[in-house]
């Protein structure tokens, strides 16, 4: 089938979702009220609570949730064929992610803009709050390890991107200074930044840089992983305005440019989907599509990470409550469209079915490298950039996303360690540098332990990361469901996704447990057990809370 049809079908479905279903949910279920005094107005302090233009807020919400994950997940999941991945991304975005994101903003907005973690404690109970914290820690741990492995793989496979990827850090540092010292207006700075970044992208293919194949016993991937964590540790210690803020801003611009380029190239070139609609010739180690598809694609269909952004920051800046629909639901649609682009790139960017099969030779393969290779061939065909340049461009886009997430993730993890230090009275753990080293150590252990460092294992850990993400989403949906019941409104809009997610996540974890046992991969086996225990506890918590609600005991506590 021609990829233009896939693209248009996806966009039309998501547009219908936004114009019809989100209107229904916003008006009839959440009953968003334009006259409600939002926390941004009620507690306006110029620091946390600031009423913000809804387009700015949408841009922020979208760029902080759309990173490398909605690219990697779909690009791995197409191994079952493109139709299942396509359907889950589209229906997931319409009935799961949009409802979840807008609902998280609404729930937080109606509760003094508290974070979803705090809301879980207030609305569901103390046990649920502890579970929430454990799952967040697991998500952060895995996201840092997985992204380091992904970036290392990209830098080895597409070494033309090494110069622009690291050069982008210097561009960001300079931009940060220009803005901080108010030397140049922001629009001019944005143009300078984008031009500088693209100049570096042009320079990359001329001077490709490859690390030695082995150095003190470390493979080139392992060396990159060490360098990346070294960078992330230093970056997470710098003040945010110096590097993180300008980097994030350029990434946002880059996201829009990359998406427009990809979509335009697909529309002009119109390549055929060479991957099968349903893959009947699955590699031997591929697990069953149901339930694994629903945890392999987390971001792009539904992801709990969004709830953290929605509750922690977005809801504190909501100007009008009705903006929650645009910011939350349309933010999810934005991410769905990125996932859709990833599916098309990974399925239509190869010349023949044989080429595609050579990449997807076993489960956990493909991923972001297939997205870059496929997307680059579409861009070079559609827009006429040389393939090498297009590869560099897409690699830079993916690496910058993943790199910024690592920076943020390591920062958050350091806070968690520092907090533990405070709780358990361990004075050295409260200090910044030791806490950072602990966080880096934990992530390194996971990155190497999960077999990503030598590049042979593929991303076996990816579905496990998806499960933690889905558990987080499940907890957020539970909060929204309980609120809906208390307001006396129909709860099926969030209850059905919640049950579906929990069943699929637990099933996927059990199935994975079996696989890891057979492979005798005790590291991932142990990790799986930890996540499985959390999942079962969350399922029990959901069951008991909903049971209490059903019995009419509406006042919990």
Partner 1 sequence: MARKIIEVSKLGKVKAFWRRANAFAEEAYNAPYRSAIARAQRDQDDLFMLLVYSELMGIPNPATFYTMELQPLMLERFHEWHIRMGMEHSPLDNMRCC
| Per-residue DSSP letter, 286 | P
Shortest Cβ 114–partner 1 spacing (Å): 15
CA–CA gap between residue 105 and residue 327 (Å, rounded): 9
Sign of CA dihedral 98, 104, 106, 109: negative
Q: Which is nearer to partner 1, 245 or 365 (CB)?
A: 245
Shortest Cβ 407–partner 1 spacing (Å): 13
Shortest Cβ 476–partner 1 spacing (Å): 21
| Per-residue DSSP letter, 218 | E
Q: Which is nearer to partner 1, 180 or 522 (CB)?
A: 180
CA–CA gap between residue 26 and residue 58 (Å, rounded): 16
- Least Cα distance to 466 among 345, 275, 313, 291 occurs for 291
Q: Does residue 291 have a cis bond before it (omega within 30 degrees)?
A: yes
Binding residues vs partner 1 (CB under 8 A): 46-48, 50, 52-53, 55-57, 59-60, 64, 179, 185-187, 190, 239-241, 244-245, 248-249, 252, 313, 316-317
Q: Which is nearer to partner 1, 51 or 449 (CB)?
A: 51
User: Three-state secondary structure along 241-280?
Assistant: CCCHHHHHHHHHHHHHHHHHHHHHHHHHHCCECCCCCCCC
Q: Which is nearer to partner 1, 129 or 316 (CB)?
A: 316
Q: Which is nearer to partner 1, 108 or 380 (CB)?
A: 108
Shortest Cβ 101–partner 1 spacing (Å): 16
Q: Which is nearer to partner 1, 3 or 418 (CB)?
A: 418
Q: CB within 8 A of 136, min separation 6: which ones?
A: 117, 308, 416, 472
Shortest Cβ 45–partner 1 spacing (Å): 9
Q: Which is nearer to partner 1, 86 or 249 (CB)?
A: 249
Q: Which is nearer to partner 1, 160 or 254 (CB)?
A: 254
CB 81 within 8 A of CB 356: no
CA–CA gap between residue 469 and residue 294 (Å, rounded): 11
Shortest Cβ 305–partner 1 spacing (Å): 15
Q: What DSSP assignment string belongs to 15-78?
A: HHIIIIIHHHIIIIIS---TTS--HHHHT--SSS---B-HHHHHHHHHHHH-SSHHHHHHHHHG
Shortest Cβ 244–partner 1 spacing (Å): 8
Shortest Cβ 248–partner 1 spacing (Å): 7
């Amino acid at each position: 089938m021609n990829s233009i049809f896939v693209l248009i079908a996806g966009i039309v479905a998501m547009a219908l979702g936004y114009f019809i279903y989100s209107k229904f949910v916003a008006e009839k279920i959440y009953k968003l009220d334009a006259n409600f005094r939002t926390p941004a107005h009620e507690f306006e302090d110029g620091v946390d609570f600031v009423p913000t233009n809804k387009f700015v807020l949408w841009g922020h919400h979208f760029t902080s949730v759309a990173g490398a994950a909605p690219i990697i997940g779909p690009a791995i999941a197409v191994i079952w064929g493109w139709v299942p991945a396509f359907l889950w991304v589209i229906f997931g975005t319409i009935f799961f992610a949009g409802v979840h994101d807008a609902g998280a903003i609404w729930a937080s907005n109606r509760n003094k803009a508290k974070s979803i973690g705090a809301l879980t404690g207030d609305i569901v109970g103390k046990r649920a709050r502890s579970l929430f914290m454990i799952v967040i820690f697991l998500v952060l741990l895995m996201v840092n390890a997985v992204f380091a492995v992904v970036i290392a793989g990209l830098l080895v496979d597409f070494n033309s991107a090494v110069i622009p990827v690291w050069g982008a850090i210097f561009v960001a540092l300079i931009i940060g200074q220009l803005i901080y010292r108010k030397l140049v207006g922001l629009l001019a700075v944005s143009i300078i930044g984008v031009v500088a970044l693209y100049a570096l992208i042009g320079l990359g293919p001329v001077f490709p840089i490859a690390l030695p194949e082995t150095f003190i016993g470390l493979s080139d991937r392992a060396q990159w992983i060490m360098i990346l964590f070294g960078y992330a540790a230093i970056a997470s210690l710098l003040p945010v305005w110096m590097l993180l803020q300008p980097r994030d801003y350029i990434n946002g611009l880059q996201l829009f440019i990359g998406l427009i380029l990809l979509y335009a190239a697909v529309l002009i070139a119109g390549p055929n989907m060479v991957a099968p609609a349903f893959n009947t010739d699955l590699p031997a180690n591929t697990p069953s599509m149901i339930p694994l598809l629903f945890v392999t694609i987390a971001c792009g269909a539904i992801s709990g990470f969004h709830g953290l952004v929605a509750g922690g920051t977005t809801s504190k800046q909501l100007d009008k409550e009705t903006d929650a629909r645009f910011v939350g639901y349309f933010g999810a649609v934005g991410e769905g469209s990125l996932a859709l682009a990833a599916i098309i790139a990974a399925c239509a960017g190869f010349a023949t079915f044989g080429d595609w099969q050579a990449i997807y030779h076993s489960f956990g393969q493909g991923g972001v490298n297939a997205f870059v290779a496929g997307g680059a061939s579409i861009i070079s065909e559609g827009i006429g950039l040389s393939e090498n340049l297009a590869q560099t461009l897409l690699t830079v886009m993916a690496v910058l996303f993943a790199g910024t997430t690592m920076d943020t993730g390591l920062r958050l993890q350091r806070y968690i360690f520092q907090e533990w230090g405070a709780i358990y009275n361990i004075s050295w753990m409260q200090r910044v540098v030791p806490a950072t080293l602990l966080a880096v150590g934990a992530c390194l252990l996971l990155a190497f332990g999960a077999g990503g460092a030598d590049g042979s294992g593929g991303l076996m850990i990816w579905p496990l990361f998806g499960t933690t993400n889905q558990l987080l989403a499940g907890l957020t949906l539970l909060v929204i469901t309980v609120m809906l019941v208390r307001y006396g409104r129909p709860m099926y809009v969030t209850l059905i996704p919640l049950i579906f997610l929990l069943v699929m996540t637990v099933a996927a974890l059990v199935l994975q447990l079996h696989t890891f046992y057979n492979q005798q991969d005790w590291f991932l086996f142990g990790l799986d057990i930890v996540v499985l225990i959390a999942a079962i506890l969350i399922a029990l918590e959901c069951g008991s809370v909903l049971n209490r609600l059903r019995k009419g005991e509406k006042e919990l506590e």
